[in-house]
Amino acid sequence: MSKSQHIGKAVVEENLITGFLNQPRIELHCMLLTRALTKQTPQLATKSISRANCFGSSIKMLPPLSDTFPDLIRSKFSSAVDAGSLTFTPSTEKDVPAGDLIFRVRVAPSLAQKPVPTREHDEAPKAKFNPFLNPEPDLFLCDLGDRYSLILNKFSIVPYHFLCITKKFEPQRAPLSEEDLSATWECLQANVKSGSRLLAFYNCGELSGASQEHKHIQFIPVPHDLKLLPDIALSYGIPVSKDAIGQFPTSHPGVAFAHFVLPVPKNPSTDDLVMRFSSLLARTLTTLREQGQRTISFNFAMTKDWMFLAPRGQESYGGVSVNATGMVGLLLAKSEEQLDFIKNTGPLEVTARVGLPRITEDEQQHDY
């Protein structure tokens, strides 16, 4: 990519971050974020501080999902498969241990048919079809408030994989807004499969593993007894802070890639969610800045118990594409060969190669 293309991309991403900072609740926490951004984009930081309004208006709370949502998703999933509108390919699973972590690797040849993203810098970019502007009726589940629709994933590897999409186009390169976090929390309440909890994830930026540019937060059921990386990271304890959150983000001590985890309290308010997201994003932006990344790419994952963010430096390693699910312990392989590659290389090495190295304790400034 040429220098001017890099600068153009940086301007777009700065605008997205400015939009994020200007949301009422996020402005409360903008000092954290502007501190993380200051050295990278001093003008942006100054603008954001001057626009900060700590008495911003409240957002409209989203109506809760209907109690019948789990039945709806199960019946719609079956009918969409029967109608041929949803491609479901059963996969095999292999657990690959890595220290006290287990990476569950799904081998799914259907991944090879996943749409390949059109990059901005392609020599002759073609107009890209946006499947989320007019979702297919067979995949449509319901609306969530005025701003979101819930739809089934057309190419499912995990049953009941669904997406929360914005009704109007919003860029996937923008961080999650306060309304997005509220919508995510609403969806996480649904008990779509017994014996499972929902994992929400958001692949943000061009190196994050996303294939669609229209904002979409995804949800898959994960077995209750499967401990993901953030579950294990939290089991090491959480440093206490004196701020409104009461805890500093933590990381798994045996994992080489930068990642940040915070527990989510029971029945969180939107403020609780925004504070945690802002705190994790501030560290993510600091890591991207300190390591000279020119593009803002990161993975977000969340359950009812925790929130996780990890900055990204590469989309794939050894042909294995990794998105947010991979970074928390659920890798996907397109073939048996890719499974062998993951086993031989080690899942912690694969994820470290697509993430960014951790900033050491000495380099980290624990002032936010």
The label of the residue with tokens 């749409």 reads: 115
Query: Using CB under 6 A, which of 38, 110, 212, 270 touches ligand AMP?
Result: 212
The helix (run of H) or strand (run of E) holding residue 93 is: strand 92-98
Q: Tell me the two tokens of residue 158.
A: 């995990």
Query: Using CB under 6 A, which of 41, 48, 149, 153 touches ligand AMP?
Result: 153
136, 137, 142, 145: CA torsion to nearest 10? 60
Burial of 339 (0-12, 13-18, 19+ CB in 10 A): buried
- Binding region for ligand AMP (CB under 6 A) out of 5-13, 148-156, 231-239, 311-319: 148-156
CB of residue 254 vs ligand AMP: minimum separation in angstroms? 27
Q: Among residues 41 and 172, whose Cβ is nearest to ligand AMP?
A: 172
CB of residue 180 vs ligand AMP: minimum separation in angstroms? 15
Query: Using CB under 6 A, which of 38, 81, 102, 155 touches ligand AMP?
Result: 155
Counts for the chain of helices (H) and strands (E), in that order: 11, 15
Q: Does 323 bind ligand AMP (CB under 6 A)?
A: yes
Residue at shortest CB range from ligand AMP: 131
Q: What is the crossing angle of helices 30-37 and 42-51, to 10°?
A: 170
Q: Is 216 a known active-site residue?
A: yes
Spell out the residues 6+ positions from residue 271 whose beta carbon is closer than 8 angstroms to its own. Answer: 25, 28
β-strand 330-333 against 101-107: which pairing, if any? parallel
SS3 state of residue 166: strand
Query: Using CB under 6 A, which of 37, 151, 207, 339 touches ligand AMP?
Result: 151
Query: Using CB under 6 A, which of 182, 203, 293, 325 touches ligand AMP?
Result: 203
Q: Tell me the two tokens of residue 240.
A: 């206490």
Catalytic residue, candidates 29, 214, 216, 259: 216
Residues that contact ligand AMP, how many (by CB under 6 A): 14
Q: Among residues 160 and 368, whose Cβ is nearest to ligand AMP?
A: 160
Q: Does 110 bind ligand AMP (CB under 6 A)?
A: no
Q: Does 184 bind ligand AMP (CB under 6 A)?
A: no
Q: Give the whole-angstrom CA distance, residue 185 versus residue 273.
A: 9
CA 100 to mean position of chain CA atoms? 23
Positions marked active-site: 216
Chain residues binding ligand AMP by CB under 6 A are 131, 136, 139, 151, 153-155, 203, 209-212, 216, 323
